Amino acid sequence: MPNHNILVLGCWHNVMGMIMMIRNPHHNLKIMGIDIDSEAIEVADKLTEAWRFEEYNPFKNEIADANRYSYDKYDIIINCSVEHMDSTEWFDNIPKGKLVCLQSMSLNIVNDPIYKIKSPNTTLEAFSNKFKLETILFLGQKEFDYEINPYSRYCVIGYK
């Protein structure tokens, strides 16, 4: 994935972007993280400042609504928290042909102040049906067998 413009939706502290930079330090990535939460973006700015070299920083973090954002200039769109989004409007706005990586979980604890789940995806099938991709490169799930609230984590990667 060298020389790509990557957009991370609902980035919180943009840890996903930092992991990509750590694992691919010579790939000349440009990573934009957006989140509707201004406090999360403030932390993301502090954390990603470590990648600044003189005036250049491969990270940008911005307060933005994913439903109203333009995806045109990005090669890869990542959303690791689709269950925290009110709708699929953000997904519908992604242009055809874009590489997309989406993650969700099976928990159905809606209106909880800790989990903040707004749009649950209780099965892998429901998740993959909600976010239809033209070409699927990976579709899978991983089980987390915690004593309290065990859940499955879903991932789909492909082209819209």
What pLDDT, on the 0 to 100 scale, is given for residue 159? 98
Number of other residues whose CB lies within 10 A of the CB of residue 52:
11
> Which residue(s) pair with 155 in the sheet?
103, 140
Mean pLDDT of 61-70: 97
Phi, psi of 63 (to 5 degrees): -75, 120
Q: How confident is the model at residue 88 (pLDDT cuts 50, 70, 90)?
A: very high
Mean pLDDT of the chain: 91
d(CA 102, CA 83): 10
pLDDT at residue 53 tops 60: yes
Mean pLDDT of 13-39: 90
Phi, psi of 86 (to 5 degrees): -65, -35
Mean pLDDT of 59-66: 95
β-strands 135-144, 76-79 pairing: unpaired
Which tens digit of pLDDT belongs to each residue from 100-146?
Answer: 999 998 877 777 666 687 888 889 999 999 999 999 999 999 999 99
d(CA 90, CA 85): 9
Q: How confident is the model at residue 1 (pLDDT cuts 50, 70, 90)?
A: low
Domains of the chain: 5-159 (3.40.50.150)
pLDDT at residue 56 tops 90: no
Question: Is the distance from CB of 102 to CB of 131 less than 8 angstroms?
Answer: yes
